[in-house]
Amino acid sequence: MSTTPTPGADPCAEPARSGLGIDALRRGVLDNLVCLQARTPGIATPQDWYMALAYSVRDRMLARWAATIQTYAARDLRVACYLSAEFLIGPQLGNNLINLGIEDNARAAMRALGQDLDELLALEEEPGLGNGGLGRLAACYLDSLATLEIPSVGYGIRYEFGIFNQVIRDGWQVEVTDLWLQNGNPWEIVRPNVNYYVSFGGRTEMWHDEQGRLRVRWLPARMVKGVACDTPMPGFRVNTCNTLRLWKSEAIESFDLQDFNAGDYYQAVQEKVISETLSKVLYPNDEPEAGKRLRLAQQYFFVSCSLQDMLRLLDLKGEPIARFADMFTAQLNDTHPAIAVAELMRLLVDERLLPWDEAWDITRRTLAYTNHTLLPEALETWGLPLFSRLLPRPLEIIYEINRRFIDEVRQTFPGDEARVARMSIIDEAGEKKVRMANLSTVGCHAVNGVAALHSTLLTQTVLRDFAQMWPERFHNVTNGVTPRRFMLLGNPGLARLLDETVGEGWVTDLTRLRKLEAHLDDPAFLEQWRAVKRANKAVLAERIRHVTNVIVDPDTLFDIQVKRIHEYKRQHLNALYIITLYQRLRRNLEQGSVPRCFIFGGKAAPGYTMAKLMIRLITGIAEVVNNDPVTEGRLKVVFYPDFNVKNAQCIYPAADLSEQISTAGKEASGTGNMKFMMNGALTIGTLDGANVEIREEVGDENFFLFGLTAEQVERVKREGYRPAHYVEGNAELREVLDLIAGGHFSRGDSQVFRPLVENLLHADPFLVLADYADYVACQARVSEAWTDAARWTRMSILNTARSGKFSSDRAIGEYCERIWNIDPVSIGLDRESAE
């Protein structure tokens, strides 16, 4: 950076690249507009201004980022590597401004340049590199890791196309390609010199080296190069700026010269195309899809690059391989990175020539596994033929791991061959498969569930045998979400009120919100609280009008269910209630009825027919209800398209009621439930996932509970679920189902919803009809509570006040203490590197 002042410039002025003041920011933006966008203010488009501002914010992170990397490289410390196939990080500009503490100055600087910060924020493309909760969790954890000053790196895949954009056409979901990179990505720094080769296919052979050791050589059919693409992850008001390192695949050479010389141009280009396909697209399913070769290749690709990167950093530090587990720990976010168990063994045994036992000790001490699901159909497996063709050497290693593991099981439980078959990493029944959850559990020193109920059920169901063998290996770490993005950024009105009421410290110590309880009897405070919520609802109402043309009234109860569309999440149970309410209103039967606006949002996996039908049912109900003069002013239904992080940030703060109505035992934790709670919504929910802990924290008098418990669900299933039984005794339910089946919500077409109604009546594993009556009764209690505005407001305040446990800072603190054994490291900024 030049130290020579511009002639005539104020010698005391802050540098344009690092200064945090308004004038430095203004000059920095102007410089970047010219130097990076090649535009003068006179002809700059809003996109140019957005890019210039984003680069200026990035400039201000670079010294911190470099100092952070330098500190991790120089000091004897342990780095937490968070391995995840998905990072749903959301737009970066607003969050970075907040974490750097320069939002107000940036707003003023842009105003001085004739630009509106909010308009520029709205322009940012969202990196949709995840499907939903799992990917968003990884992003919240990166924010907390940096804020808590934990040495850490996020490792994943730089998908060229993230999750599809959802549009609604004729009431149906239509998927539109996500072109998030089309205008360039100002946050990313590509590091072509940080690259690794990853092998695929081919065969293995044994050989003896010069020392006479028996070795294995993998002769791959092809190799792909992974290139590091880094994104800075600044902590909140600390110097720490961690790295999200995503791998992009490239062909090793542009053309296979031999083919090219032989004149086969297309064959030569083919290899390149295949290699570049690897990081092309995110699989848009919440659950694994059977037998997708490319997906297994993606998993191996990013895991191998990440582990090779960790080994290179160890070498750079001059540390011996024996210290690997002291320098690194790697958390596997679900089984998507489970192949790390085999790949770390391969790198240590085949390439670093460690004896098996020593390599196994390092591998197990390094890796830890987070389980995210109890649904047996969502546990990842890979068919053996596919696996052996794609990854022949890792498979051999898995066989050796399994052979030794099974010996251990037989020693611990002699004569119990049924147990051996259940625990084996290879499923030998029918078509043989590799079970990734078993591989993870065997190869990791710690296994955790993501909410108390989930962790308990884990040790009683899918991982029961393992919990009996190694009880000390099992933990719970209840999920959390970052209050920086979901309160400070998404709900600035609330944040201001909280600052004034309990002081600013709540942002990094969310338990301080408890102090709100001292203000429950202050009518002025209740009034301010209501005003904040009212304003957030008005903002959402305006967006709903803009996007869907539906007019909703911010004074009605905003009843919101936003999350992936899934049968186990039971958006259709909510839909059945809306129809019930509609019928009652039409007959003037609803006593104490309160005007409600039901808002849905969420994507369905493109191949998940039932989920797409559930969307169609909601839009069909909206079409009828919103156009019926009888219910005008009393009932509105909205499907808000394209639920993503950007939309989420303004939806959660506008909610009065949070719908968390999954079949008990099916939702591992949920994190949407926590975001609603923090923003003062009341929950109607089942005893599932983190709902249990939310209710514990807020008190059962402030939570609308309904439905079967996980235990009751299992009992009903054991004894035989008979949906007809619930219809026979309930004329209202009968009528609702008849209306759907008769085409009332499908423009008279009685075929459309047939599969959905048939499913509810004959083949529903999620027991929708069993919970219907209790849900309807519980919604009546919600309505009743709403009619007492002061009571509702107090309950709303209590939800925020008691949400402290659900900060991702608490969750990351628990990972550090119980699983990773890592302490914070503060990053020093000497004056020179700070400028």
Ligand X SMILES: *Cc1c(COP(=O)(O)O)cnc(C)c1O
CA gap 474, 449 in Å, rounded: 8
644 binds ligand X (CB under 6 A): yes
Shortest distance, position 621 Cβ to ligand X, whole Å: 21
CA gap 329, 310 in Å, rounded: 10
Catalytic status, residue 734: no
**Exactly one of 373, 501, 580, 671 is catalytic; which is it?**
671
Nearer CB in complex with ligand X: 645/713: 645
Beta-carbon contacts of 748 under 8 Å, excluding residues fewer than 6 positions away, are none
Shortest distance, position 488 Cβ to ligand X, whole Å: 15
Nearer CB in complex with ligand X: 372/616: 372
**Exactly one of 60, 393, 485, 564 is catalytic; which is it?**
564
Among residues 132, 154, 171, 226, the one that binds ligand X under rule CB under 6 A: 132
Among residues 91, 127, 133, 490, the one that binds ligand X under rule CB under 6 A: 133
304-316 core/surface letters (b: 16 or more CB in 10 A; e: else): bbbbbbbbebbee
648 binds ligand X (CB under 6 A): yes
Nearer CB in complex with ligand X: 382/652: 652
CA gap 744, 398 in Å, rounded: 55
Only one of the segments 362-370, 393-401, 643-651, 713-721 lies at the binding site for ligand X (rule: CB under 6 A); that segment is 643-651
Q: Give which of 251, 347, 362 is closest to 307, Cα–Cα.
A: 347
Which residues in 528-587 contact ligand X (CB under 6 A)? 563-564
**If residue 474 lies in a helix (H) or strand (E), which one and from where to where?**
strand 474-476
Nearer CB in complex with ligand X: 139/727: 139
602: left (phi over 0), alpha (psi -120 to 50) or beta: left
Q: Give which of 675, 394, 451, 448 is closest to 561, Cα–Cα.
A: 675
Shortest distance, position 794 Cβ to ligand X, whole Å: 25
| C-alpha distances out from residue 737 to 616, 636, 730, 744, Å | 15, 20, 11, 10
Shortest distance, position 679 Cβ to ligand X, whole Å: 12
Among residues 645, 664, 708, 816, the one that binds ligand X under rule CB under 6 A: 645
Nearer CB in complex with ligand X: 58/485: 485
378 binds ligand X (CB under 6 A): no
Nearer CB in complex with ligand X: 288/672: 672
**Exactly one of 445, 569, 634, 695 is catalytic; which is it?**
569
Q: Give which of 251, 293, 249 is closest to 156, Cα–Cα.
A: 249
91 binds ligand X (CB under 6 A): no
Shortest distance, position 816 Cβ to ligand X, whole Å: 23
Shortest distance, position 676 Cβ to ligand X, whole Å: 8
Catalytic status, residue 671: yes
Nearer CB in complex with ligand X: 124/250: 124
Nearer CB in complex with ligand X: 398/655: 655
Catalytic status, residue 432: no
At residue 623, φ and ψ (nearest 5 deg) are -60, -40
Catalytic status, residue 564: yes
Shortest distance, position 298 Cβ to ligand X, whole Å: 21
Structure tokens, 255: 């053309």
Beta-carbon contacts of 96 under 8 Å, excluding residues fewer than 6 positions away, are 57, 58, 61, 232, 234
Nearer CB in complex with ligand X: 480/672: 672
For residue 477, give the amino acid letter: V
**Exactly one of 372, 445, 570, 810 is catalytic; which is it?**
372
Shortest distance, position 608 Cβ to ligand X, whole Å: 15
Catalytic status, residue 277: no
Nearer CB in complex with ligand X: 331/691: 691
CA gap 421, 414 in Å, rounded: 13
DSSP, collapsed to helix, strand or coil, labels residue 353 as coil
Shortest distance, position 246 Cβ to ligand X, whole Å: 19
CA gap 346, 563 in Å, rounded: 39
Only one of the segments 65-73, 628-636, 671-679, 680-688 lies at the binding site for ligand X (rule: CB under 6 A); that segment is 671-679
Q: Parallel, antiparallel, or unpaired for β 165-169 and 172-176? A: antiparallel
Size of the site for ligand X (CB under 6 A): 13
Q: Taking the CA atoms of 361, 367, 368 and 369 in sequence, report the sign of the dihedral they define.
A: negative
CB 484 within 8 A of CB 143: yes
Q: Give which of 368, 389, 392 is closest to 440, Cα–Cα.
A: 368
Only one of the segments 62-70, 403-411, 669-677, 756-764 lies at the binding site for ligand X (rule: CB under 6 A); that segment is 669-677
Structure tokens, 21: 């003041």
Among residues 151, 235, 443, 670, the one that binds ligand X under rule CB under 6 A: 670
Nearer CB in complex with ligand X: 562/733: 562
Shortest distance, position 685 Cβ to ligand X, whole Å: 11
**Exactly one of 485, 533, 572, 675 is catalytic; which is it?**
675
298 binds ligand X (CB under 6 A): no
| C-alpha distances out from residue 119 to 29, 116, 646, Å | 16, 5, 13
Which residues in 136-175 contact ligand X (CB under 6 A)? 136
217: left (phi over 0), alpha (psi -120 to 50) or beta: beta
Report, in this order, helix, strand and coil percent for the chain, each rounded to 5.
50, 15, 35
CA gap 56, 26 in Å, rounded: 9
Nearer CB in complex with ligand X: 578/661: 661
Shortest distance, position 133 Cβ to ligand X, whole Å: 3
If one counts every other C-beta atom within 10 angstroms of the C-beta of residue 384, the result is: 16
**Exactly one of 245, 295, 473, 563 is catalytic; which is it?**
563
DSSP symbols for 180-207 = TTTT--TT-EEEEEEEEEEEESSEEEEE
If one counts every other C-beta atom within 10 angstroms of the C-beta of residue 104, the result is: 11
Residue whose C-beta lies closest to ligand X: 672
129 binds ligand X (CB under 6 A): no
CA gap 691, 456 in Å, rounded: 15
CA gap 827, 233 in Å, rounded: 14
672 binds ligand X (CB under 6 A): yes
Shortest distance, position 332 Cβ to ligand X, whole Å: 20
Shortest distance, position 698 Cβ to ligand X, whole Å: 17
Catalytic status, residue 475: no
Nearer CB in complex with ligand X: 162/672: 672
Measure the N-to-C terminal CA separation of the chain; round to a whole number of Å.
9
Residue 329 CB-density burial (10 A; 0-12 exposed, 13-18 middle, 19+ buried): buried
DSSP symbols for 47-114 = HHHHHHHHHHHHHHHHHHHHHHHHHHHHS---EEEEE-S-B----SHHHHHHHHT-HHHHHHHHHHTT
Task: Estimate to the nearest angstrom the gap between the alpha carbon of 755 and the chain centroid.
Answer: 31
Catalytic residues: 372, 563-564, 569, 671, 675
**Interface with ligand X by CB under 6 A: which residues?**
132-133, 136, 563-564, 643-645, 648, 670-672, 675
